[in-house]
Chains A and B, each alone.
Chain A
Amino acid sequence: MKRIARFTSLCVVLVVVAALVLPTGARAEKEIKIGVLYPLTGGAAAAGRELRDGAELAAEIANTAMADINMTMAQNAGIQSMGGAKITLIFKDHEGNPTLGADLAKKLILDDKVDGLLGCYHSSVTKTVSAVAEQYGVPMINGSSTSPSLTERGLKWFWRTTPHDTWFTKDLFELLKGLTEGQAKGVKAVSQKDIVNLASACEKTEWGSFVSELIEQFSKEYGFDLKKSLLYAKEAPDLSSEVRSLKASRADVLLFASYTSDAILMIKTLKAQKIQPKIIWGQDAGFETPEFQQTMGEDIVGILTRTVFLPQVVKVKPVAGQVNKLYKAKTGNDLSGASARSFTGLQTWVYILEKAGSTKPADIQAAANAIEIPGDQLVVPWAGIKFSTSGKEIGQNVLGSGLIGQYQKGSDGTVGLEIVYPFDVATTDMIYPFPKW
C-alpha cells in the first residue's frame, strides 16, 4: 500500500514539477524569435528539409553582412532598425498533422514567446496554425501553402507571400488557350479539338481537392471538356485503377495535383500502362521536387509543371543566382519552389521587421499591411510583395506570379526545367505533344 501511494504521489509530483519547470519565459536578449512550423517528418519530410534549409539560409543572410548579395537585408548584420537584433528560428515539426500543428503553434506562442510565425507548407496545417495565431494576435507569414481559402477568411494576422492555386490554375488554362493560338514558342497553333478533352487526378486533402474544383471551374470558363476528375489518397501504394480510369476517359490532357511519392507513382503507372496523352501537367508540389526528378530520370521529359522557381530563373534574376550559389554550397541542391519560397517568406519577415522597428504585434501588423518589397530583391520571379488589405482576399500578396516549366533534356544531357509560360519569358521551345515513352 505504501509503495503504491508513493508511486502515485511520485507521478503527481512529477507532473506538477514538469509543468512548473518547463520553459515558460523568454529571454530578454536582443533577439527576435520566429517560430517555424514545417513537416520535418512524415510523407513530406523531403520538402520539409528544403523548406528548413531555405529559411535558415535567409536568416543567415539577414544576420550577417554579405556584400556580394544584392539584397538590402544582406547589407547589414541583423535588423538595423532594432539595433542589429538577430533573428532566431525555432523549428517545430508538425508531421503534416493539423492538430499537432495547432498545439505546437500554441507552444511557440505561449511558451517560447515567439514574435511571429512562419509556415507550414501543408495547407491543412496552415489552416489550423493560422487560426491559433489569429486568436492570440500573433503575426504569421505563409510562404508556400497555396489553397486559396486561406486568405479568404478575413484574418487580420495572416499574410501569404506565395500566389495561390487560383492564379496557377488560370495560368494553365492560359497556356492551353495560348497553344491553340500559336503563342507557345516553337509550336504551331494546335487545333482546339486536339486538346479539348481533359482529365484530372488530384490528391484529396485540402490542397488537391481545391485544385480539382478550380480545374472544373476553369474548364467551363475556357470551353474545355473535363471528362473525368478524380481524387485519390496520396499514400496509396498503387494507382493503377486511377490511371485506368484516366485512360478510359480518353482525355488528351492529363492534369495532376500530387505530392512527391504519388507523383512518381502516377507517372510510372502511366508509363507502365502505355498511356499516351498529348499533355501532362502537374500542379507543382511533388512534380517539382528533386526526388521526382532523380527517380524518374528521362521519363519526365515533356511534363509540364506549375512552378515558382527553377534554376533557369537565375538568367533573369541575378540575385537568385547569388543566393542559389550559397544554397548549393550549403545543401548540394539548387533552390527549388519549396526552398525559394521558404527563403522568401523569411525574407519578408526581415523586411517587415525592419519597417516596423519593433516587435510589438500592432507595429508588425501595420508594417506588413503597408510594405512593398520590389521584385529585384526577391529570388522568386515575382513583381514584388505587397499584401491586399481589402476585398475578398486579405493578406494576399498581389504581385506574385507563377511560371509553367517543362522538363527538357539539356545540351549536357541532364534533365531540367525550362520556362514555357509566360510566353514572353520562355527560355526555350516547348515540346508538344508529349513524347512517346
Chain B
Amino acid sequence: MDILFSSLAAGILFGMALSLVALGLTIIFGVMDIINFAHGEFLMIGMYTGLLTAQAFGIDPLLTLPVAAAVGFLLGIVCYLGFIKFLLRGPMIAQLLGTFGLMLFLRNLALLIFGPNDRALHKGILVGKSFDIGLGIVIPATKLATAGLSLAAFGAVWLLMNRTRIGKALTATALNPQGARYMGIPTERMNALAWGIGGASVTVAGALIVNFWSVNPYIGLLFTMLAFAIVALGGFGSVPGAFFAGIVVGLITELPGFWDFVAYTFEFDWMSDVPMTSFKYMWVYVAYFVIMVVRPRGLFGWKH
C-alpha cells in the first residue's frame, strides 16, 4: 500500500518541479510561437549557477535563487536579441534547427568550461534531509521545497501576466502582435521580455533542482523533451496548463510505481517481470501522442 502513496507523492512533487521547468517554454511560445530546443540547456545553466554560487560563497543553495533568476533573465534576453530575433524571420524548420544549434552550442560550451563530470551539492539546510510522514511516504525536503517554490513561481507569473500592465502587454502581444503594435506596445521589447522571464523561470527551476539532482553538461535533453511534452499537453501558451500538465507528467513517470503496487497487491507475478522502469519516460510520449490526436489543443490551449 505504501508504494501507492509514495509513488503518488513522488509523482506530484516531481511534477511540480517539471511544471516550473515547462513554464518558461510556454511563456516564450505563447508570446512568439517559437519552440526553444535549448530549453533544457537553460535549465542546465541554471543548475550550474545555483551550484557554483552556493559553493563559491558558501551560502545555502536556496539563497542562490535570485542569482539564478538574474542569470536566466539576462541569458534569455541576450539569446533573443542576439539570435532568436533573426530566426523569427525564417520558416519554422529554420527556427527548430536554429535553437537546436543553440542547444549544441550551450551544451558543449558548458562541457568546455565545466568538464564532463557530474557535480552535486553536498551542503545546505535541506540537502539530504527528508520527512517520513508515515504510510511509507518519505519526502525529501528538497523536493518539498521545490514544489513549494514552484507554486510560488507560478503564482508570481500568473499575477504578472494578469495583474500588471507589463503582463497585459505581454498577453496582448501573444494574442495579436499586429494589434498590439497598433496599440503602441513595443512588441520587440515584449518579445525580449518574454525570453527574459522564460529564461529566468527555468534557471530558477534549475537552481532548485540541483538540490537533489546532479548536473552535467548532458542533462538538458531529457528535460527539453519533458518540457515539450508538458507544454503540448497543457496547451502551448497556457500558464495554468503548464502547471497541471506538469503534475500529470510527473505522475506518468511514476507509472512503474503504480504498476508495482498492482503487481504486489494482487500478486500478479507476471507484472513484476515487465521492465516498467525502463519505460518511465516513454509513457509520457505515448500520452502526448494520444492527447494530441484526441484533443490537439491540449488541456487549456488557446493557440494552434
Asked if chains A and B are in direct contact (CB within 8 A), the reply is yes
Residues of A within 8 A of B (CB): 41-43, 45-46, 204, 228, 230-233, 235-238, 240-242, 244-245, 247-248, 260-261, 264-265, 268, 271-274, 291, 295, 297
Name 7 A/B residue pairs within 8 A (Cβ), A-sorted: A43-B218, A237-B219, A245-B277, A248-B260, A265-B213, A271-B128, A273-B130
**Chain B positions within 8 Å of A233 at CB level:** 278
Docked-complex contact A244 and B257, CB < 8 angstroms = yes
**Chain A positions within 8 Å of B218 at CB level:** 43, 235
Docked-complex contact B275 and A241, CB < 8 angstroms = no
A114 to chain B, nearest CB (A): 26
Docked-complex contact B275 and A245, CB < 8 angstroms = no
How far does the alpha carbon of A268 sit from the alpha carbon of B219 in the complex, in Å? 18
B150 within 8 A of partner (CB): no
Docked-complex contact A45 and B117, CB < 8 angstroms = yes
Residues in B1-40 with C-beta less than 8 Å from chain A:
3, 6-7, 10, 14
Docked-complex contact A273 and B116, CB < 8 angstroms = no
A10 to chain B, nearest CB (A): 25
**Chain B positions within 8 Å of A297 at CB level:** 122
How far does the alpha carbon of A82 sit from the alpha carbon of B249 in the complex, in Å? 65
How far does the alpha carbon of A45 sit from the alpha carbon of B218 in the complex, in Å? 12
The proximity string for B residues 256-290 relative to A, scoring 1 for CB distances below 8 Å and 0 otherwise, is 11001100100000001001111010000000000
Contact check: which of A41, A241, A265 meets B116 at CB < 8 Å? A41
How far does the alpha carbon of A264 sit from the alpha carbon of B120 in the complex, in Å? 9
How far does the alpha carbon of A274 sit from the alpha carbon of B117 in the complex, in Å? 26
Docked-complex contact B253 and A264, CB < 8 angstroms = no
Contact check: which of B14, B130, B140, B214 meets A261 at CB < 8 Å? B214
Q: A41-B116, A265-B214 are in contact. Are A272 and B10 (CB under 8 A)?
A: no
A38 to chain B, nearest CB (A): 13
Docked-complex contact A228 and B138, CB < 8 angstroms = no
Docked-complex contact A291 and B138, CB < 8 angstroms = no
B218 to chain A, nearest CB (A): 7
Docked-complex contact A244 and B10, CB < 8 angstroms = yes
A137 to chain B, nearest CB (A): 35
Residues in B127-164 with C-beta less than 8 Å from chain A:
128, 130, 132, 138, 140
Q: A238-B14, A242-B277, A264-B120 are in contact. Are A41 and B111 (CB under 8 A)?
A: yes
How far does the alpha carbon of A264 sit from the alpha carbon of B212 in the complex, in Å? 11
Leading 7 A-B pairs by shortest Cβ distance: A45-B116, A261-B118, A272-B140, A248-B3, A241-B256, A242-B277, A237-B213
**Chain A positions within 8 Å of B277 at CB level:** 230-232, 241-242, 245
Docked-complex contact B130 and A264, CB < 8 angstroms = no
B97 within 8 A of partner (CB): no
B115 within 8 A of partner (CB): yes
Docked-complex contact A241 and B7, CB < 8 angstroms = yes
Docked-complex contact A231 and B278, CB < 8 angstroms = yes
Q: In terms of DSSP, what is the predominant structure of the interface of chain A?
A: helix
Contact check: which of B10, B116, B118, B275 meets A42 at CB < 8 Å? B116
Of all chain B residues, the one with the shortest Cβ separation from A201 is B277
B222 within 8 A of partner (CB): yes
Contact check: which of B10, B111, B278 meets A240 at CB < 8 Å? B10
Total A-B contacts with CB atoms under 8 angstroms apart: 95
A288 to chain B, nearest CB (A): 15
B18 to chain A, nearest CB (A): 11
Further contacts, 17 of them, CB under 8 A, given A230-B275, A248-B264 = A45-B115, A45-B117, A231-B277, A231-B278, A241-B254, A241-B257, A245-B256, A245-B260, A248-B260, A260-B118, A261-B216, A264-B118, A271-B128, A273-B138, A273-B140, A274-B132, A295-B214
How far does the alpha carbon of A272 sit from the alpha carbon of B126 in the complex, in Å? 11
Docked-complex contact A204 and B257, CB < 8 angstroms = no
B220 to chain A, nearest CB (A): 10
A33 to chain B, nearest CB (A): 27
**Chain B positions within 8 Å of A274 at CB level:** 130, 132, 138
How far does the alpha carbon of A228 sit from the alpha carbon of B273 in the complex, in Å? 8
Query: Chain A CB within 10 Å — which of B118, B120, B222, B276 has the most?
Result: B118
B283 to chain A, nearest CB (A): 11
How far does the alpha carbon of A242 sit from the alpha carbon of B278 in the complex, in Å? 9
How far does the alpha carbon of A147 sit from the alpha carbon of B130 in the complex, in Å? 38
**Chain B positions within 8 Å of A46 at CB level:** 116-117
How far does the alpha carbon of A244 sit from the alpha carbon of B5 in the complex, in Å? 11
Docked-complex contact B117 and A291, CB < 8 angstroms = yes
How far does the alpha carbon of A236 sit from the alpha carbon of B223 in the complex, in Å? 11
How far does the alpha carbon of A147 sit from the alpha carbon of B127 in the complex, in Å? 37
Residues in B185-212 with C-beta less than 8 Å from chain A:
212
Contact check: which of B3, B213, B214 meets A244 at CB < 8 Å? B3
Docked-complex contact B111 and A291, CB < 8 angstroms = no
How far does the alpha carbon of A295 sit from the alpha carbon of B218 in the complex, in Å? 19
Docked-complex contact B130 and A244, CB < 8 angstroms = no
Docked-complex contact A295 and B122, CB < 8 angstroms = yes
**Chain A positions within 8 Å of B7 at CB level:** 241, 244
Q: A46-B117, A237-B222, A241-B253 are in contact. Are A272 and B260 (CB under 8 A)?
A: no
Of all chain B residues, the one with the shortest Cβ separation from A261 is B118
Docked-complex contact A231 and B275, CB < 8 angstroms = yes
How far does the alpha carbon of A236 sit from the alpha carbon of B278 in the complex, in Å? 10
**Chain B positions within 8 Å of A264 at CB level:** 118, 120, 214
**Chain A positions within 8 Å of B280 at CB level:** 236, 241
Q: A232-B277, A261-B216 are in contact. Are A295 and B130 (CB under 8 A)?
A: no
How far does the alpha carbon of A233 sit from the alpha carbon of B260 in the complex, in Å? 19
Docked-complex contact B10 and A241, CB < 8 angstroms = yes
Of all chain B residues, the one with the shortest Cβ separation from A437 is B128
How far does the alpha carbon of A268 sit from the alpha carbon of B138 in the complex, in Å? 14
**Chain A positions within 8 Å of B214 at CB level:** 237, 261, 264-265, 295
Of all chain B residues, the one with the shortest Cβ separation from A241 is B256
Docked-complex contact B222 and A235, CB < 8 angstroms = yes
Of all chain B residues, the one with the shortest Cβ separation from A45 is B116
Of all chain A residues, the one with the shortest Cβ separation from B259 is A245
Q: A245-B256, A260-B118, A273-B130 are in contact. Are A204 and B278 (CB under 8 A)?
A: yes
How far does the alpha carbon of A235 sit from the alpha carbon of B217 in the complex, in Å? 11
**Chain A positions within 8 Å of B118 at CB level:** 260-261, 264, 291, 295
A297 to chain B, nearest CB (A): 7
**Chain A positions within 8 Å of B138 at CB level:** 272-274
Contact check: which of B120, B212, B261, B276 meets A272 at CB < 8 Å? B212
How far does the alpha carbon of A46 sit from the alpha carbon of B216 in the complex, in Å? 12
Docked-complex contact B257 and A295, CB < 8 angstroms = no
Docked-complex contact A245 and B140, CB < 8 angstroms = no
Of all chain B residues, the one with the shortest Cβ separation from A263 is B118
A92 to chain B, nearest CB (A): 17
A295 to chain B, nearest CB (A): 6
